[in-house]
Amino acid sequence: MNNVERIRQKLAEKDLDAVIIENEKNQRYAAGFPFTDGSVIVAKDGAWLITDSRYIEAANLRAEGVTVLLYNKEKPLKAFISELVSDAGVNRLGIEENSMSYGRWLALKEQLSCELVPAQYIFSDLRASKSEEEIGYMKEAQAISEAALDEVLGIIRPGMTESEIAAELVYRMLRHGSEGNSFDPIVVAGAKTSMPHGVPGDNVVKDGDFLTMDFGCIRNGYCSDMTRTVAVGHADDEMRKIYAIVLEAQLAGIAASRAGIPGCEIDAAARKVICDAGYGEYFGHGYGHSLGLDIHEAPNANPLGKAIMPVGAVVSAEPGIYLPGRFGVRIEDVVVMREGGCEVITKAPKQLIVL
């Protein structure tokens, strides 16, 4: 079953006649082709990708499960949408309410005579559980990230700046086949490692610093995500203690991870380790988030994560301890939820590395 058929099943469940898709990631999920201008419409008896001359040749080569149509000044996108919705007899048209602008909603409401129905759940539900093909793409992306990390670990030295190290990671991921960053890399050293989302800058790496690198790349549209915290030169006893607690917490979360339970249970297993060690107040974020075509998807493994983890959910495992003004530690892998357990797709070592 291709993704168009999966979307059609969701239409039937919710008594929708069609859905219009304009979010780029959802368009890629539906038709297998990314583009930024145009629409995909999936109806009960047809599916169409409508784009302009910049994308038409590539769409004809790569799009799957849809009829590709070219809009232009003679027949603009608006005319195609009206015609297709009318010809398909659409009375209830699903929209992506979480990403559609109010202005776009108003324009469609004025243009079309059918009812516009919130239908974001179609994509959040379907994209929560990855197919083996999607998981394969994510494994490829993860392997690229790890190859880049392995090379960069060999060149890090005191005197380098955070920005230089971030640039090396990006460059080496591209050399290994990345299509781009899944997010802006977080590379921070010394006291800045206490900032979970610190921004790399001109801060110089010094002997005795922790260095946290959180980064990922895109392969076939799918994201990787990983974090490693390493010590430069040496690590004192407190640094080693905190690192060991975070690693124990991550391993506890991974051991608890499986399909069929809410994400909050996974978070609780990891959080208990950190709290029992006396550092609960220094772990302020959730244990993990889903990822796929977007770097942050649902369901989440955090204290509020009540949604059940489906088979095939791909979720980060990234607990941390952050001591303000001193240092922080985060270790992040990515796992696939399976029946009775999980598959860890991150293969990089995670014992404390002292460079």
Q: At what angle do helices 24-31 and 3-13 cross, to 10 degrees?
A: 110
Domain 132-344 class? alpha beta
pTM (two decimals): 0.94
Q: Which helix (H) or strand (E) holds 48?
A: strand 46-51
Residue 2: is its pLDDT beyond 90?
no
By CB atoms closer than 10 A (0-12, 13-18, 19+), residue 92 is middle
Q: What is the CATH number of domain 3-128?
A: 3.40.350.10
Residue 1: is its pLDDT beyond 60?
no
Q: What is the pLDDT of residues 99-139, one digit of tens each?
A: 999 999 999 999 999 999 999 999 999 999 999 999 999 99
Q: What is the pLDDT of residues 245-283, one digit of tens each?
A: 999 999 999 999 999 999 999 999 999 999 999 999 999
d(CA 294, CA 297): 6
Q: What is the pLDDT of residues 42-90, one digit of tens each?
A: 999 999 999 999 999 999 999 999 999 999 999 999 999 999 999 999 9
Mean pLDDT over the full length of the chain = 97
AA letter at 57: E
CA 25 to chain centre: 11
**Residue 155 CB: number of other CB atoms within 10 A?**
12
Quick one: the chain helix, strand, coil %, rounded to 5? 40, 25, 40
Q: Which residues pair with 328 in a beta bridge?
A: 322
Mean pLDDT of 170-184: 98
Q: What percent of the chain has pLDDT over 70?
A: 100
**Residue 351 CB: number of other CB atoms within 10 A?**
8
Nearest CA among 265, 247, 219, 210 for reference residue 332: 247
Distances 44 to 5, 15, 31 between C-alpha atoms, Å: 9, 10, 15
Q: What is the pLDDT of residues 277-328, one digit of tens each?
A: 999 999 999 999 999 999 999 999 999 999 999 999 999 999 999 999 999 9
d(CA 142, CA 266): 22
Confidence of residue 35 (pLDDT cuts 50, 70, 90): confident
By DSSP bridging, strand 39-43 and strand 18-21 are antiparallel
Nearest CA among 168, 143, 146, 142 for reference residue 155: 168
Q: Which helix (H) or strand (E) holds 53?
A: none
| Confidence at residue 236, expressed as pLDDT on a 0 to 100 scale | 97
Nearest CA among 95, 91, 101, 226 for reference residue 153: 226
Sketch the domain layout of the chain as residue ranges: 3-128, 132-344
| Confidence at residue 37, expressed as pLDDT on a 0 to 100 scale | 87
